[in-house]
Amino acid sequence: MAFNFNWSPLIADTSRARDMLTAALNKSPKPPIIVDDIIVTELNLGTTPPELEILEVGDLAEDRFRGIFKMSYTGDAFLTLKTKVQANPLNTYLSAKPSFASPQPLAAAAGLTIPLQITLSDIRLSGFVILVFSKQKGVTLVFRNDPLESLKVSSTFDSIPFVRDYLQKEIEAQLRVLFMEDLPAIIHRLSLRLWSPEFQELETEERLDAPKDTTVPIDPFSTPAQDAVDAFGNPIEPSQISALSLDDPAEVHASFSQKNMTRLAALSESQRTLSLFTPGIQEVVFRAWTSPAGAESGTNTPGLTQGSLSRIQSTFGSTRSHSSSVASGSTGNETQSSRPTLASGYSSSANLSLGANRSRTGAQRKRKTRVVNLRKTDGADSPALSTESNTPLTSTNVSETDSVIPEEQEEDVTTPPRSPPKNGFDVGNPTTLDPKSLVPAVPLHASPPKAPKPKQKSKISTPEPVEETPRASRRPPLSHSRLRPSQQATSPLLRSLSFDKVSSLSEKAKQPLSPPFSDSTSSSGGILEQAWMLKMAQEIGRKVQDEKDKQARRELRRSRGLEKEGVDVRDMAKGVWAEDEEVEAPPAYRA
Amino acid sequence: MIDFMDNVQNAFYETSHWNLDNSYGALNATARALLDFQTPKGLRLQISSLAAPNFATSYTIGSVGVVDGSVSYLYSSLPVQRELRSANLALRHVIRGYRHLQELRRPDEKWWWELWHDGVRIDNRDTLLYGRIFLPQSTLEALYLRRLSPTRQLKITAVSDSNLNNGGTILALLQTDVGKYSTEYMYSTDSALLGVRGLYNFGYDPRVAPTSTPTAEDVVEPVHGRFSAGAELYYGLLNKSGGISTGLRFTTLPNHTGFPYTMTLTLNPLMGNLSSTYAVKAGKNLALCSRFDFNFYSYESELQLGCELWRRRSNTEVEWAVKKLRPEWKRPIASPDDDVSGILKARVDQDWRIGVLWEGRIKELLFTLGASVDLRKREQIFRAVGIELQYSS
């Protein structure tokens, strides 16, 4: 592909362009120093063409073209203007001031109008140009930024520095306006005259009237996103953004407005801290919403309820029935795509972000202890499965095809049984909930297969009344109130599929977990302190335990001998080993 | 026709013995009154009132495109004694025309202003406060005027307008007038403009009381004119630009036997502008003026001609009777210019731009009817037409 820009015919006849420039220069209100019309006496485009670098070609056909260029010009074009200027600075200064507080000089402000010839040369331009050409609509050329880099203004007043500087400043300002506003119009009119004969006739009639519609062809460019930024927050080049707005609307999503970016920043900020504030972002699904607890917020974004719905299904399914989890996987194709990140982030980072999204009072702390305790109970109560505490998780991974599931399961299986103390939490909260939100959950007992549908209803009906309560306190109870009955309802199904595993998990998890949890929830104030204290207590306890274990092991080794060490030690001191595992595992879940 | 508030201010100057004409800024006041008058645009109504001798209010409403208006208040510590009701005010006070300069007055002695009561001075400096707000634009004009001493006056004017740089501008003007000469120092906050103006009157010094008895020569050839010279200098500290001009004036005094006339010559050496005016009061009802501008840098020249004509009703039936009245008899005329039907002012320049003004009084209303015409531009001859009505009580 090649473009052939022919420069020489452009420089041949400039009389029309001269007239149009003259008209354009006199259109806008002139500064008081210019007291006469500005007449373009000479216009020479020079022999050096501007350098064009094609950045993007948006549309290309025989009769139309749309592209973005990077233009730089260092040619020898020059322009000579003739006008009359007011040489008395006092005159121009006073003409713009109210007469009431003016010194009203007698003759010191007497005017001296001087014919002025200005030559603009050494014009240095560099900028992004958008060129749209179509046979019908002519050529539209728009500068996306201020292209004027520098120019040399030589005039009659070069010997007077004050006037020279003033002229240079004024003319540069005027030229910027010319490049940004007037030049596109001039080029458009010129091109129309060239290509459409009917316009030529129109034009001749129209010439008597004032030209008014000259800015119309710029319209498609005139409403790009304001201070657009890309996904990384870097400002998008004006040329790019205009290309985006020109292209089909699907691509517009690539750009975010500054406003949304700040909201996103606030959101990530709130996750880093203990802030409960979640900024509202339109058409965005929060991961927190995808859990059944946050289901009520799904109605805020009507377009996305489907996705969040399917996600709820998947969480339920994954916990209780693999069949339903498969179904949810098939329906929630949109949400599944976002899941892998979660699944892959099974390690510390994902857990952290999840915890940040959810309630801070319980979830994060819970999870930590829960994981630890799970293994402990596994190791302690079901030694038959395997000697390693990790086995239940790996086995589920194997049995379930969906990579998403382990994470979900890990969360949801453990939460409901663990919550006896949390029930008190729950009892208080449902009063703030819309009763409807809870009622549909009841039929779940009777008809487990229909579970998803009532869920959907309840989710839609909840949001308004619930919205008053802060999210952090609201979410966990909601999830429990719904999960428990449904879990019980689906338990037969569960048992049929992975009976031994899940049931053992849930049942075992109940007893050992409750004590620490009740501790944490009993004192609701001072979350930070509480967390800190708990952590410290655990840490210290662990250290002490560690020391004891080491000593115990040493003693064991000494007493038993070195050969049969591994198996025997495990058999003999199960609790010790479980503690050991605990020491190694948690760092992944702790930030 | 000058504004009601300007009229009140002039009355304040008159009462406090301040000579407005003895300033370099008023050097060519006559020519400006006859040649640079403003023609009204659109319809403008003004209702004013001197509610108390010290307090005046004025309301203006106009329609130039949109309806706009202004509200102004004025306070003067000196009671205004001038007749200000539009029904009987003296038209010469509100019509700017040929300014017939009077003999210089000896400035008041300081002790004249002193008021003692029980051994304590109780006199205050005379002060005038004036404010005016233009309503849709929210532009505020304020004036503070204080007579510091019989020969000195401080005038501070301010304009507050969001369209201006820094939201407004303040001009402080310190004026000194001792009769023989006058000086003005000014400072404008806008670009920190400093200005000095001075005017010197040659000849008779009013401060020196005539000690010797008038000689024969004085009696035969009394001083019938005054020659004045002045200069002004401005410098803007911020924009580092300035201006300068010098001027001369010769004007006849009331004891001049012929027709009164005024000649001025101003020169701006920086810009090469030379301007000469000649105004003559050709009769009781007619004044003529001409101005010639020439710039010896650009060789541009300009010529303007103007006239002022007072039209009086000639009631021929009673004229013979009026003639027979003896001068010492008190004339039963309510106001001095009861017979004035109107004042016509007209100006024309070499480009055939014409301005016409017809001012007068109908019943109790003062009216100004004006038009500016440009004969060169055939398609739009009338550049501006307007009427102003004033009523004051």
Q: Which of B240, B242, B266 sits opposite A106 (nearest CB)?
A: B266
Give the domain A8-94+108-216 fold: Bactericidal permeability-increasing protein; domain 1 (3.15.10)
- The model's pLDDT over B366-384, given as tens digits with 9 standing for 90+, comes to 999 999 998 888 888 888 8
Q: How far is CA B335 from the centre of its chain?
A: 22
Cβ count near B56 (within 10 Å) = 25
Specify the pLDDT at position B199: 95
What are the chain B neighbours of A90 within 8 Å (beta carbons)?
234, 236, 241-243
> Which residue segments constitute the domains of chain B, with CATH numbers given?
4-205+221-392 (2.40.160.10)
Specify the pLDDT at position A351: 43
What is the least distance, in Å, from the CA of B169 to any CA of chain A?
7
Contact state of A110 with B245 under an 8 Å Cβ cutoff: yes
Specify the pLDDT at position A286: 66
d(CA A20, CA A17): 5
What is the least distance, in Å, from the CA of A280 to any CA of chain B?
38
Using CA coordinates, name the residue in chain B closest to A98. Answer: B159
Phi, psi of B142 (to 5 degrees): -140, 145
Selected for mutation to probe chain A from B271, B273, B294 (highest A CB count within 10 Å) is B271
Contact state of B193 with A88 under an 8 Å Cβ cutoff: no
Q: Is B238 exposed, middle or buried (0-12, 13-18, 19+ CB in 10 A)?
A: exposed
Domain coordinates in residue numbering, chain A = 8-94+108-216, 223-254, 270-433+467-524, 528-591
What are the chain B neighbours of A103 within 8 Å (beta carbons)?
171, 173, 186, 188, 193, 195, 234
Selected residues 243-282 of chain B with any CB under 8 Å from a CB in chain A: 243-245, 247, 266-268, 270-273, 275
What is the least distance, in Å, from the CA of B298 to any CA of chain A?
7
In the block, residue with structure tokens 């208006």: B69
Specify the pLDDT at position B159: 93
What contacts A98, CB < 8 A, 6 or more positions away?
B139, B141, B159, B161, B164, B169
B299 Rama class: left (phi>0) / alpha (psi -120 to 50) / beta: left
| DSSP summary character for residue B86 | T
What are the chain A neighbours of B197 within 8 Å (beta carbons)?
106
A301 and A284 in contact (C-beta within 8 Å)? yes
Selected residues 210-249 of chain B with any CB under 8 Å from a CB in chain A: 230, 232-234, 236, 239-245, 247
Specify the pLDDT at position B164: 83
What is the least distance, in Å, from the CA of B119 to any CA of chain A?
41
Specify the pLDDT at position B227: 93
Consecutive sets of 10 residues in chain A, 591 residues long: mean pLDDT of each?
66 74 79 82 81 82 83 84 84 82 86 84 86 81 84 82 81 81 81 67 50 42 48 56 46 58 78 72 67 47 42 42 42 42 40 43 44 47 44 42 43 43 43 44 44 44 43 43 44 44 45 45 60 82 82 72 48 47 47 47
What are the chain A neighbours of B25 within 8 Å (beta carbons)?
104-106
B249 and B228 in contact (C-beta within 8 Å)? yes
Cβ count near B391 (within 10 Å) = 17
Specify the pLDDT at position A18: 83
Task: Name the pairing type of β-strands B42-52 and B382-392.
Answer: parallel
A244 and A254 in contact (C-beta within 8 Å)? yes
Element (H, E) at B248: strand B241-252
| CA dihedral of residues A320, A324, A326, A328 (deg, nearest 10) | -110
Contact state of B232 with A97 under an 8 Å Cβ cutoff: no
Contact state of A98 with B161 under an 8 Å Cβ cutoff: yes
Q: Does A111 touch chain B (CB under 8 A)?
A: yes
Contact state of B271 with A102 under an 8 Å Cβ cutoff: no
d(CA A451, CA B329): 119
Alpha-helical regions (H) of A196-286? 197-206, 238-246, 258-272
Consecutive sets of 10 residues in chain B, 393 residues long: mean pLDDT of each?
90 90 91 91 92 92 85 92 85 87 84 83 88 90 92 93 86 93 92 92 79 65 85 90 92 88 93 93 91 90 93 75 70 62 92 92 90 86 88 90
In the block, residue with structure tokens 């944490």: A520
Q: Does B24 touch chain A (CB under 8 A)?
A: yes
Specify the pLDDT at position A360: 45
Q: Which of A100, A111, A162 sits opposite B240 (nearest CB)?
A: A162
Q: Does B191 touch chain A (CB under 8 A)?
A: yes
What contacts B185, CB < 8 A, 6 or more positions away?
B173, B174, B195, B196
